[in-house]
Amino acid sequence: MKKIFIVMAVLALAACQQENKDYNPSDARTFWLTGDVKEVRISRAILSTTSEDEIGDPWVDDDELQMTFDEKGRVTLDGNGNVYVYDEEGNFVRGSSEITEMTRDAQGRIATYNNANVPEDADYEDFDFEHFLHVDYTYDAQGRPVTEDMGGWEWGTTYTYEYEGQKVYPSGGSFEGGYEGIVEEGTITYEYLKFDAKGNWTERNVMIVTNTYEEPWEGDPEPEVETVTTETLERRTISYWSDQK
């Protein structure tokens, strides 16, 4: 009986592997995921903040859909809320709008997602600038994102990530950007608490320290800096294409 059970387990594993042999993990890797990810749902709770704003309900997100990937491993919804649509041949055809452009590097990884590519002769009254966003990625030798440069209408932020050893997820990072003459810069620290069987984290603490000040003009005195520290608990539920029904 024990031998039969082992053989059945091996066959089940082989069938699972066969089912997902066409899954390309490149896009999942861009978002610090491993395995044949299908869907990621997330909940976030603000544990503490030095901001003058009241926390109120600490669960700012509760079991919200964060990311999705198709059976080939192509991202169809990313963590920034960007949509990706492909044709039957797998070519990118549009994003959150019909003017969206997406490019990949020589290794097939996402290089840019540009939802703000407005033609010079366009009638700006026809566009909703609140939804405009461009994101550019660079990667290290292990294929992990090291910079994420994003921006929209009159705002932009560049994130730089750090890693420990060969881990696929970042240990922390820094960011710098701003909007309409306001500068925001700071640091991010991640503490990973739980993981699933695929090696993806399912619970972590995120500590963000943000320094905000007005961009000074030449000759101006040193700007007054407001520092806010926020600690957030994040929990994820991840489903995979190989999950047994």
pLDDT digits (tens, 9 = 90+) for 166-187: 999 999 999 999 988 899 999 9
What is the mean pLDDT of the segment spanning 134-151? 95
> Looking at the predicted structure, is the pLDDT value of residue 140 above 60?
yes
> What percent of the chain shows pLDDT beyond 70?
82
Distance CA 211, CA 188 (A): 12
> Looking at the predicted structure, is the pLDDT value of residue 107 above 60?
yes
φ and ψ of 121, to 5 deg? -95, 15
Q: How confident is the model at residue 8 (pLDDT cuts 50, 70, 90)?
A: very low
Question: What is the predicted pLDDT for the residue at 51?
Answer: 84
Asked whether the beta carbons of 132 and 151 are under 8 A apart, the reply is no
Average model confidence (pLDDT) across the chain: 86
Strand bridging mode 101-104 / 110-114:
antiparallel
> Looking at the predicted structure, is the pLDDT value of residue 2 above 50?
no
Strand ranges, E, within 50-144: 59-69, 75-77, 85-86, 92-94, 101-104, 110-114, 134-139
List, for residues 34-81, the tens digit of each pLDDT value. Answer: 999 999 999 999 999 888 765 656 767 889 999 999 999 999 999 988
Dihedral sign of CA atoms 227, 80, 168, 192 in order: positive
Per the structure block, which two tokens stand in for 145? 């994102």
Q: Give this prediction's pTM.
A: 0.83
Give residue limits of the domains in the chain.
Answer: 23-240
Per the structure block, which two tokens stand in for 66? 């964060």
